[in-house]
């Protein structure tokens, strides 16, 4: 998660730089709200795009991890969006991570609810 967050900070920095350029650095309240929604969309697009194209973000490739459906099939668009929507509050609040400590299959709460799992890839 730490490695993933480092890559995500770089993506968000670039996205923020582009947004600031387009809005000429405006600090109006409406622009700030739009900026926050935009950044959330960038984060969602980052994860969902990678999950749908091979089931691996850049950090997951490094650690030889892949996200799949509970039955081992590649994720559908709907399941990837559901996992992201569940992972956001689950991870930020820490509940999903704590859940994995007690789950019989060591799944995060958002994986249990979205019917997904993280597996080790064979290319180690």
Q: Where are the domains of the chain?
A: 2-120
Residue 91, pLDDT above cutoff 80: yes
More confident residue, 26 or 5: 5
Residue 28, pLDDT above cutoff 60: yes
Residue appearing with tokens 């490739």: 61
- pTM of structure: 0.90
Q: Do the Cβ atoms of 24 and 84 come closer than 8 Å?
A: no
What is the C-alpha to C-alpha distance for residues 90 and 76, in angstroms, rounded to an integer? 21
pLDDT band at residue 25 using 50, 70 and 90 as cut-offs: confident
Nearest to 41 by CA among 89, 104, 82, 84: 84
Look at residue 66 and give its three-state secondary structure: strand
Residue 124, pLDDT above cutoff 60: no
């Amino acid at each position: 998660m730490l490695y993933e967050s480092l890559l995500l900070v770089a993506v968000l920095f670039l996205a923020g730089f582009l947004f600031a350029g387009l809005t000429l650095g405006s600090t109006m309240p409406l622009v700030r709200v739009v900026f926050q929604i935009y950044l959330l969309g960038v984060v969602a697009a980052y994860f969902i795009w990678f999950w749908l194209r091979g089931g691996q973000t850049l950090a997951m490739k490094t650690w030889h991890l892949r996200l799949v459906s509970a039955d081992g099939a590649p994720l559908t668009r709907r399941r990837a969006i559901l996992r992201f929507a569940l992972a956001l509050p689950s991870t930020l609040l820490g509940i999903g991570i704590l859940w994995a400590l007690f789950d019989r299959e060591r799944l995060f709460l958002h994986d249990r609810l979205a019917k997904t799992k993280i597996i080790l890839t064979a290319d180690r």
